[in-house]
Protein backbone atom coordinates (compact mmCIF):
# COMPACT_ATOMS: atom_id res chain seq x y z
CA UNK A 1 0.00 0.00 0.00
CA UNK A 2 1.18 3.53 -0.79
CA UNK A 3 0.17 6.86 0.66
CA UNK A 4 -0.74 9.06 -2.29
CA UNK A 5 -1.87 12.67 -2.52
CA UNK A 6 -4.12 13.67 -5.39
CA UNK A 7 -5.15 17.04 -6.74
CA UNK A 8 -8.79 17.29 -7.79
CA UNK A 9 -10.51 20.07 -9.69
CA UNK A 10 -13.51 20.94 -11.84
CA UNK A 11 -14.59 24.05 -13.73
CA UNK A 12 -17.55 22.93 -15.86
CA UNK A 13 -21.01 21.70 -14.98
CA UNK A 14 -21.90 21.27 -11.32
CA UNK A 15 -18.34 21.53 -10.06
CA UNK A 16 -19.06 20.42 -6.49
CA UNK A 17 -21.14 17.45 -7.66
CA UNK A 18 -18.36 16.45 -10.08
CA UNK A 19 -15.85 16.42 -7.23
CA UNK A 20 -18.23 14.52 -4.95
CA UNK A 21 -18.83 11.91 -7.69
CA UNK A 22 -15.10 11.48 -8.32
CA UNK A 23 -14.46 11.10 -4.58
CA UNK A 24 -17.25 8.50 -4.36
CA UNK A 25 -15.75 6.58 -7.31
CA UNK A 26 -12.37 6.57 -5.56
CA UNK A 27 -14.04 5.23 -2.40
CA UNK A 28 -15.73 2.45 -4.39
CA UNK A 29 -12.45 1.18 -5.87
CA UNK A 30 -11.28 -2.00 -4.13
CA UNK A 31 -7.60 -0.97 -4.20
CA UNK A 32 -8.09 2.60 -2.94
CA UNK A 33 -8.94 3.82 0.54
CA UNK A 34 -9.73 7.53 0.90
CA UNK A 35 -8.07 8.80 4.09
CA UNK A 36 -8.69 12.57 3.93
CA UNK A 37 -10.34 15.15 1.71
CA UNK A 38 -9.45 18.85 1.94
CA UNK A 39 -11.95 21.69 1.92
CA UNK A 40 -12.51 23.03 -1.60
CA UNK A 41 -11.31 26.41 -2.77
CA UNK A 42 -12.44 28.45 -5.76
CA UNK A 43 -9.67 29.68 -8.02
CA UNK A 44 -9.19 31.49 -11.30
CA UNK A 45 -8.06 29.31 -14.22
CA UNK A 46 -4.42 29.56 -15.26
CA UNK A 47 -3.72 29.78 -18.98
CA UNK A 48 -5.82 28.33 -21.75
CA UNK A 49 -8.95 29.78 -23.31
CA UNK A 50 -11.43 31.95 -21.34
CA UNK A 51 -13.29 29.71 -18.91
CA UNK A 52 -15.05 29.50 -15.57
CA UNK A 53 -13.48 29.34 -12.14
CA UNK A 54 -12.24 26.06 -10.71
CA UNK A 55 -13.10 24.31 -7.51
CA UNK A 56 -9.90 22.66 -6.31
CA UNK A 57 -9.06 20.29 -3.51
CA UNK A 58 -6.67 17.57 -2.40
CA UNK A 59 -7.28 13.97 -1.41
CA UNK A 60 -5.07 11.62 0.61
CA UNK A 61 -5.48 7.96 -0.30
CA UNK A 62 -3.95 4.62 0.53
CA UNK A 63 -3.55 2.84 -2.80
CA UNK A 64 -2.69 -0.77 -3.53
CA UNK A 65 -1.82 0.15 -7.11
CA UNK A 66 1.45 0.93 -8.83
CA UNK A 67 1.75 4.56 -10.04
CA UNK A 68 0.85 3.89 -13.69
CA UNK A 69 -2.06 1.65 -12.68
CA UNK A 70 -3.36 4.39 -10.39
CA UNK A 71 -2.99 6.93 -13.21
CA UNK A 72 -5.07 4.64 -15.46
CA UNK A 73 -7.81 4.49 -12.81
CA UNK A 74 -7.80 8.29 -12.41
CA UNK A 75 -8.08 8.80 -16.18
CA UNK A 76 -11.02 6.38 -16.25
CA UNK A 77 -12.78 8.41 -13.55
CA UNK A 78 -12.12 11.63 -15.50
CA UNK A 79 -13.63 10.10 -18.66
CA UNK A 80 -16.59 8.68 -16.74
CA UNK A 81 -17.35 12.20 -15.50
CA UNK A 82 -17.24 13.66 -19.01
CA UNK A 83 -13.65 14.71 -19.59
CA UNK A 84 -12.53 14.45 -23.19
CA UNK A 85 -8.99 14.74 -24.48
CA UNK A 86 -8.52 18.40 -25.32
CA UNK A 87 -5.90 21.08 -25.46
CA UNK A 88 -3.90 21.70 -22.28
CA UNK A 89 -5.59 24.02 -19.75
CA UNK A 90 -8.98 23.59 -21.45
CA UNK A 91 -12.17 23.66 -19.34
CA UNK A 92 -12.93 20.28 -17.79
CA UNK A 93 -15.56 18.64 -15.62
CA UNK A 94 -12.89 16.64 -13.80
CA UNK A 95 -9.14 16.83 -13.35
CA UNK A 96 -7.33 14.31 -11.16
CA UNK A 97 -3.56 14.49 -10.72
CA UNK A 98 -1.11 12.41 -8.73
CA UNK A 99 0.79 14.96 -6.65
CA UNK A 100 2.85 12.60 -4.48
CA UNK A 101 3.15 8.81 -4.37
CA UNK A 102 4.89 7.87 -1.12
CA UNK A 103 8.37 9.34 -1.50
CA UNK A 104 8.81 7.99 -5.03
CA UNK A 105 10.38 10.26 -7.61
CA UNK A 106 9.74 9.62 -11.31
CA UNK A 107 11.53 12.27 -13.31
CA UNK A 108 9.90 12.99 -16.66
CA UNK A 109 8.43 9.56 -17.22
CA UNK A 110 6.73 8.87 -20.53
CA UNK A 111 3.24 9.49 -19.12
CA UNK A 112 3.83 10.37 -15.47
CA UNK A 113 6.13 12.58 -13.40
CA UNK A 114 6.09 12.29 -9.61
CA UNK A 115 5.97 14.54 -7.67
CA UNK A 116 3.73 16.57 -9.96
CA UNK A 117 6.19 18.85 -11.80
CA UNK A 118 4.42 22.18 -11.22
CA UNK A 119 2.88 21.70 -7.79
CA UNK A 120 5.46 23.92 -6.03
CA UNK A 121 4.43 26.82 -8.33
CA UNK A 122 0.67 26.45 -7.87
CA UNK A 123 -1.00 27.86 -4.80
CA UNK A 124 -4.29 26.30 -5.96
CA UNK A 125 -2.61 22.91 -5.41
CA UNK A 126 -0.62 23.79 -2.29
CA UNK A 127 -3.42 25.41 -0.29
CA UNK A 128 -5.75 22.36 -0.27
CA UNK A 129 -2.75 20.07 0.25
CA UNK A 130 -1.71 22.20 3.22
CA UNK A 131 -5.13 21.54 4.79
CA UNK A 132 -4.49 17.78 4.96
CA UNK A 133 -0.67 17.49 4.95
CA UNK A 134 1.11 20.73 6.00
CA UNK A 135 4.28 18.91 7.08
CA UNK A 136 4.55 16.60 4.08
CA UNK A 137 8.01 17.13 2.58
CA UNK A 138 8.55 17.38 -1.17
CA UNK A 139 11.15 14.64 -1.86
CA UNK A 140 13.05 16.64 -4.49
CA UNK A 141 12.88 20.13 -2.99
CA UNK A 142 13.23 19.05 0.66
CA UNK A 143 10.64 21.62 1.73
CA UNK A 144 7.32 21.07 3.47
CA UNK A 145 4.01 21.95 1.85
CA UNK A 146 3.76 24.78 4.39
CA UNK A 147 7.16 26.16 3.33
CA UNK A 148 6.30 25.89 -0.37
CA UNK A 149 2.98 27.66 0.16
CA UNK A 150 4.53 30.42 2.23
CA UNK A 151 7.13 30.98 -0.48
CA UNK A 152 4.35 31.71 -2.99
CA UNK A 153 2.02 33.78 -0.81
CA UNK A 154 3.88 37.11 -1.02
CA UNK A 155 3.92 36.81 -4.80
CA UNK A 156 0.45 35.40 -5.42
CA UNK A 157 -1.59 37.14 -2.74
CA UNK A 158 -4.35 35.41 -0.84
CA UNK A 159 -7.12 37.34 -2.63
CA UNK A 160 -7.11 34.74 -5.44
CA UNK A 161 -8.63 32.14 -3.14
CA UNK A 162 -11.99 31.80 -1.52
CA UNK A 163 -13.36 28.91 0.46
CA UNK A 164 -16.03 27.26 -1.61
Give me the catalytic one of 79, 92, 118, 140.
92
pLDDT at res. 82:
85
Structural domain spans, the chain: 2-163
Q: Which CATH superfamily is domain 2-163 in?
A: 7,8-Dihydro-6-hydroxymethylpterin-pyrophosphokinase HPPK (3.30.70.560)
Active-site annotation holds for 160 = no
Residues 26-67 pLDDT 10s: 999 999 999 999 999 999 887 777 788 999 999 999 999 999
Q: Which of 161, 93, 114 is nearest to 4 (CA)?
A: 114
Active-site annotation holds for 69 = no
Distance CA 10, CA 60 (A): 18
Considering the entire predicted model, what is its pTM? 0.90
Active-site annotation holds for 14 = no
Give me the catalytic one of 69, 97, 103, 160.
97
Average pLDDT over residues 103-130: 87
Residues 146-163 pLDDT 10s: 999 888 886 554 444 444
pLDDT at res. 143:
95
Q: Which residue has the higher pLDDT, 9 or 104?
A: 9
Give me the catalytic one of 15, 16, 79, 83.
83
Q: Which of 62, 58, 70 is nearest to 2 (CA)?
A: 62
pLDDT at res. 49:
74
Sorted by sequence, the CB contacts under 8 Å of residue 158 that are 6+ apart come out as none
Active-site annotation holds for 83 = yes
Amino acid sequence: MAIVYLGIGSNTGDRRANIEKATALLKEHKDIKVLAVSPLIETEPEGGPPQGKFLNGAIKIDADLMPLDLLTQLKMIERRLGRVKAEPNAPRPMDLDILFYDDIVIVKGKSLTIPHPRLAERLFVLKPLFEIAPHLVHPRLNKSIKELMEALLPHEGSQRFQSA
